[in-house]
Structure 1
């Protein structure tokens, strides 16, 4: 029996013994945490619209910046990790989840120095996100342009 066959046999043997993950509870937690983050974002947007006279479109930038700052601070003091453990995918709401990932990478590699530790490891994650974001934006922009010409 090969090593791969042994691994498959072992996986089949232990499958009935493994506990079933609580899918419904996990989904509910993710929904609540993600929804709460979005409520905070909406409250911040209303705050900027009310007190700084932004309109709905221009309030988005300071709202995103504030959410990034809050997520980075919470990551730095270790709170965002606890939120992530509880809420799972709900804590990965794009802006705050990305801020958490970037800040975590910076904190993890700070002992290696600013350039070779923090900066290098920050852009391992951020670089891929930026590249795929830019490429997908280009592709969807071209598709939209093609539809505009055809219609």
Structure 2
């Protein structure tokens, strides 16, 4: 029997493939689609509420709606509810802005035993920091391109 490293790796890969659980990809995609849509529908309801009761316009309602969705997500994460929803819904909860709120508060909860400064403050944006960085950078680039195109009379 050949016990070379390549044979052992090949045998291990075959064994791992046999034991690997088959993921229900179609079911996961459908769950993500509907839960992501549900979150967006809730966001639209919040936006409509703000426009109707607080006289926001379509242009100004985005920021308070986003902040409200993040706040609700942080509360649900703090109470341990959001994790159960996310396990079932998958990417449907990670892709909307609620995923950002969950990432921030989860890191804060995980590191709270290290104190407010070193633990919570130092680790709160570890996961979400890259989202903020590249989001702000992308917005800057898009605004720069738009400004140049306006200046040149292209648009």
Q: Is residue 2:129 matched to residue 1:136?
A: no
The answer to whether 1:87 aligns with 2:94 is no
Question: Residues 15-34 of structure 1 correspond to what in structure 2 (within 5 A)?
Answer: 15-34=17-36
Range 24-33 or range 119-128, more displaced: 119-128
| Alignment gaps of 5+ in structure 2 | none
Greater gyration radius:
2
User: Counterparts of 1:5 and 1:37 in 2: how far apart (Å)?
Assistant: 49
CA–CA distance in 2 between the matches of 1:126 and 1:46?
Answer: 28
After TM superposition, the structure 1 stretch with the greater mean CA deviation from structure 2, 138-147 or 90-99, is: 138-147
Q: Note if contact 1:112-1:118 (Cα within 8 Å) is conserved in structure 2.
A: yes
* TM score, norm. by length of structure 2: 0.86
Q: 1:141 to 1:53 in 2, by over 3 A?
A: closer
* 2: CA distance, partners of 1:17 / 1:98: 34
Q: In structure 2, what is the Cα distance between the partners aligned to 1:146 and 1:138?
A: 12
Moved more, 9-18 or 39-48: 9-18
Matched, 1:67 2:77: no
The alpha-carbon deviation at position 94 of structure 1 amounts to: 3.1
Alpha-carbon distance between aligned partners in 2 of 1:7 and 1:120, rounded to the nearest angstrom: 41
Normalised by the length of structure 1, the TM-score is 0.88
Q: 2:47 matched to 1:52?
A: no
- Counterpart of 1:39 in structure 2 is 41
Q: What number of residue pairs does the alignment pair up?
A: 150
Counterpart in the other structure of 1:115: 117
Q: Which residue of 2 aligns with 1:99?
A: 101
CA contact (8 A) 2:36 2:96 kept: no
* Counterpart Cα distance in 2 of 1:28 and 1:75: 23
State the Cα RMSD in Å. Answer: 2.0
Q: Judge which range, 15-24 or 97-106, deviates more.
A: 15-24
Task: Give the structure with the larger helix fraction.
Answer: 1
